[in-house]
Structure 1
Amino acid sequence: MQLYNKLSAKERAALIDEAGTDRLTLSFYKYAHIGNTDIFRNHLFIHWDELEVLGRIYVASEGINGQLSVPAPNFEAFKTHLDSISFLENVRLNIAREQDIKSFLKLKVKIRKKIVADGLDDETFDVTDKGVHVDAKKFNELIDDPDTVLVDMRNHYESEIGHFKGAVTPDVDTFRDSLDIIEEDLKEHKEDKKLVMYCTGGIRCEKASAYYRHKGFKNVFQLEGGIIEYARQVEEKGLENKYLGKNFVFDHRRSERISEDVISNCHQCGKPCDNHVNCENEACHLLFIQCEECASKMDSCCSTECQEINSLPYEEQKALRKGKGNSNKIFKKGRSEVLKYKQ
């Protein structure tokens, strides 16, 4: 029985074009205690492969995190299958604001130690003992309160292109980096301030809310459904949009626009820009912000060195990459000495 994806991204893209069917990009997560992750993972793959679901799904003993694409005609069958799993019944599905039928091109269901890496080794920490969930209306009220500290639980390259007004945006590369930094910065306010957090879809700030409760913070809140759900409620209910710019997303789209504000700059020339790209040199693949003029000038590369390599015949590029792993610039997204205007 096939329990893994066999098609290349190119082959899948061709099949999607041939099918001509609309697809829905969505995400969901749920913290829960899962006993046998192998059986659960295989169960999901078998059922979702039949429904032509594509995406990146992580399963761990602490729960599940899914970012995926479903053919529109199969959505109800997909939802019925989710509801058949006790702890996923009526789970919140965050539907993308901007749809792309090729947001995902493979089905990957992977087992991880944790669905959100946190670097913690504390058996007394209960990730299900979370803070108070609030909707967009209550969130707006809370962040207008002078006794509130609003914290962005995302990484630097995400908050750079978009964040809420007045938010603390830690300059971190990973979620685990932010936990101790925020606790140290706010340790004097564990009882007298409201700690309000947000992230893309809710998964990171939910774990963070449980962590800070564990660390003694008394008034902990999180934006339910994250920025994705906030944008939907703002539009549906006619609320004030307090988010500036774009919401970074982890699929081929890279971002969704939430407001018309452009709050970041091209990393190469400094002009206002919030378009993330990957360096065209496959040996680099650095994620950075690049305007159309610089993309044209630099052949969509991050540096003249990468531009020169990318101009070589493919076989020469492949030979240069042989035996070499990609540099840590890929992990350090948006951080490189060649990027003159990285904030």
Structure 2
Amino acid sequence: MQLYNKLSAKERAALLEEAGEDRLTLSFYQYAKIGNPELFRNHLFIAWDQMEVLGRIYVAHEGINAQLSVPAKKFPEFKNFLDGINFLKDVRLNIAIEHDLKSFLKLKVKVRDKIVADGLNDSTFDVTNKGVHVDALKFNELLEDPDTILVDMRNHYESEIGHFKGAITPDVDTFRDSLDIIEEDLKDHKEDKKLVMYCTGGIRCEKASAYYKHKGFQNVFQLEGGIIEYARQVENLKLENKFQGKNFVFDHRRGERISDDIISNCHQCGKPCDTHVNCANEACHLLFIQCEECAAKMDHCCSDKCQEINALPYEEQKALRKGIPNSNKIFKKGRSEVLKFKQ
């Protein structure tokens, strides 16, 4: 029985291009007690592989975190499948604002210790004692309250291309890095301020809100469905959009535009730009912001050195990488001395 991908990303991309059928990019998560994550993982892979679902899914004893691309014509079948699983019935699906045939090119269902790497010991606090969930309307009202402190629970490379007006945006590489930093910075306001948090789709705030309540914060709120659902509600209800720029997403799109604002700059020349790319050098793959002019000039590389390596025949590049520990650090966190205009 096939429980893994047989096609390469390149082969899958060609098939998707040839088929030309509409696909929906979506995400969902659910905290639940899963007794046998490996068995559940196999069940999901078999069913979704038959539906031509692609994506990145993490399964753990604590639940599931999924980012997917589903053939539009098979969405009803996909939804019925979810509803047939007790703890996933009517789970909120965060449908992307912008869709792409190739947002995902493989189906990867992985068993992990946690569905989000938060570094927390869940046995030390009540993870179900979460903050108040608010919709876009209430969220906008909270942002007008002078007693509100708004915190972005995402990483620096996410918030640099888009965030809510007035938000605190921690300069961190990972979610776990932000938790203690935020608590320390806001320790004097645990009782007199409203702590309002947001993230991409809501999953990071689920755990963070319970953690901060455990740490003594009295008034904790979280944006229901994250930026993705906020953008949908703002559009449907014709509310004021308080988000500036792009929402960073963890698929081949790397971002979807929420407003016309460009709040970041090309890391190589400094001109306004919010297009994230990965360095074309297979041994680098640094994540950074690059404008079209610099992409053409640098052959989609982050530095002169990477450009020189990328110009070599493939076999020579492969030989250079051989034996080098962690030679291919895919999706590095966007920090490098070669990025002259990284703020």
Per the normalisation by structure 2, the TM-score is 0.97
Counterpart residue number, 1:8: 8
CA contact (8 A) 1:213 1:220 kept: yes
> Partner amino acid for 2:201?
G
Match of 2:186 in 1: 186
Q: CA deviation at 1:38?
A: 1.1
Whether contact under 8 Å (2:285, 2:332) holds in the other structure is: no
| Alpha-carbon separation, structure 2, partners of 1:206 and 1:328 | 32
| Conserved? CA contact 2:152–2:197, under 8 Å | yes
In the alignment, the residues of structure 2 paired with residue 162 and residue 61 of structure 1 have an alpha-carbon distance, to the nearest angstrom, of 33
User: Which position in structure 1 is the counterpart of 2:164?
Assistant: 164
Asked if the contact 1:32/1:128 (under 8 Å) is kept, the reply is: no
Bigger shift: residues 123-132 or 152-161 = 123-132
Superposed, which structure 2 residues align to 1:1-343 within 5 Å?
Answer: 1-326=1-326, 332-343=332-343
Conserved in 1, the CA contact under 8 Å of 2:321 and 2:327? no
Q: When the two structures are aligned, how many residues end up with a matched partner?
A: 343
Instruction: Kindly state the Cα deviation for residue 124 of structure 1 after the two structures are TM-superposed.
Output: 2.4
8 Å contact kept, 1:9–1:105 = yes
Secondary structure of the equivalent of 2:244? strand
Q: For residue 306 of structure 2, what is the amino acid of its counterpart?
A: C
1:121 and 1:139 map into 2 onto residues whose CA distance is 29
Query: Partner letter of residue 4 of structure 1?
Result: Y
Rounded to whole Å, the distance in 1 between the matches of 2:190 and 2:103 is: 41
**For residues 43 and 295 of structure 1, do their structure 2 counterparts lie closer, same or farther at Cα, with a shift above 3 Å needed?**
same
Instruction: Give the 4+ runs in structure 1 shifted more than 4 A.
Output: 327-332
In structure 2, what is the Cα distance between the partners aligned to 1:27 and 1:180?
A: 27
What's the % identity of the aligned pairs? 83
What is the rounded CA distance, in whole Å, between the counterparts of 1:198 and 1:302 in structure 2? 31
Conserved? CA contact 1:58–1:66, under 8 Å: yes
TM-score (norm 1): 0.97
Q: Is the 8 A contact 1:329 1:336 kept in 2?
A: no
Contact 1:31 1:128 in 2 (8 A): no
**Partner-residue secondary structure (3-state), 1:315:** helix
Aligned AA (1:231) = A
For residue 340 of structure 1, what is the amino acid of its counterpart? K
Q: Which whole-Å CA distance do the structure 2 matches of 1:174 and 1:74 have between them? A: 35
State the 1:205 CA deviation.
1.2
| Greater shift in the superposed pair: 153-162 or 200-209 | 200-209
- Tell me the CA shift for residue 190 of structure 1: 1.1
Cα distance in 1, alignment partners of residues 238 and 128 from structure 2? 32
SS at match of 1:29: strand
Describe the SS at the equivalent of 1:230.
Answer: helix
Provide the aligned C-alpha RMSD in A. 1.3
Q: Deviations over 1:194-249 (max 9, x none)?
A: 10000001111111111111212111110001001100111110000000000000
Instruction: Describe the SS at the equivalent of 1:27.
Output: strand
Letter in structure 1 aligned against 2:110: K
Kept after mapping to 1: 8 A contact 2:284/2:328: no
1:8-40 CA distance string (max 9 Å, x none): 111212222232321111000111121111111
DSSP-derived class of the 1:271 partner: coil
* Secondary structure of residue in 2 paired with 1:123: helix
Unaligned residue ranges in structure 2 (runs of 5+): none
- Report the CA distance between 1:125 and its aligned residue: 2.4
Aligned equivalents of 1:112, 1:27: Cα separation in 2: 18
Contact 1:136 1:234 in 2 (8 A): yes
Higher mean C-alpha displacement, 243-252 vs 290-299:
290-299
Stretches of structure 1 that go unaligned for 5 or more consecutive residues are none
